[in-house]
Structure 1
């Protein structure tokens, strides 16, 4: 099993509807490919960690790089992992109202500091990077 973290820039500010559509589409594709992870968005910046089989991650990342909703897709880090850090996660968003997404399995309200502290913990670099992004850009 492997992981990959990338960062990119949205071509425009994402609306709540844009983010909701992205969430639904990505969650379905990731489920089909047995990909887990977390996607964060704030001020036109996306950062995402993907976890799964390397072939599935490569196929997913190739699709992400072709997605016209963002540009400047930059691979940050990739490598092997012994377990999934985000096994139950779908995505976290800053702009989407948590009342709209509360029913989505794995949704994290990024403004809930207690939930962030409880759910995002561990020694893996992906955990540190995602938590840092949340604390410095969203909370």
Structure 2
């Protein structure tokens, strides 16, 4: 997740063991204070960071180019980022979009009403995958120089 920290701000996220991801539930201020006291922030290892310590100076210098607006613009609509993109097949996209599904009239299950299962494959016969809506990082397009 992206977060633009303000001075002395602490963010406490709850871990969902079932889903193996952060919960959407926000920790209360009381839980955050308890966490802060337990952790004793002054003793946190200074090498903690989302980058190798040997690159610290470069990363630190680059942070001057990021502000709250940049963080908000890049943040996926669902607010979650993972090392592996949240990919879904075109069939799944179609099945999850009830309005489009009703228009096209396809089904993910085979029965008398739907004797053929809809499949989208590329030239090699592999399923066509796309990033699930709302989970993509929202980069800007790089303008073309003419």
Task: Say whether the fold is shared (TM-score over 0.5).
Answer: no
- TM class, shorter-chain normalised? under 0.3
Considering fraction of residues, name the structure with more helix: 1
TM-score (norm 1): 0.24
TM-score (norm 2): 0.23
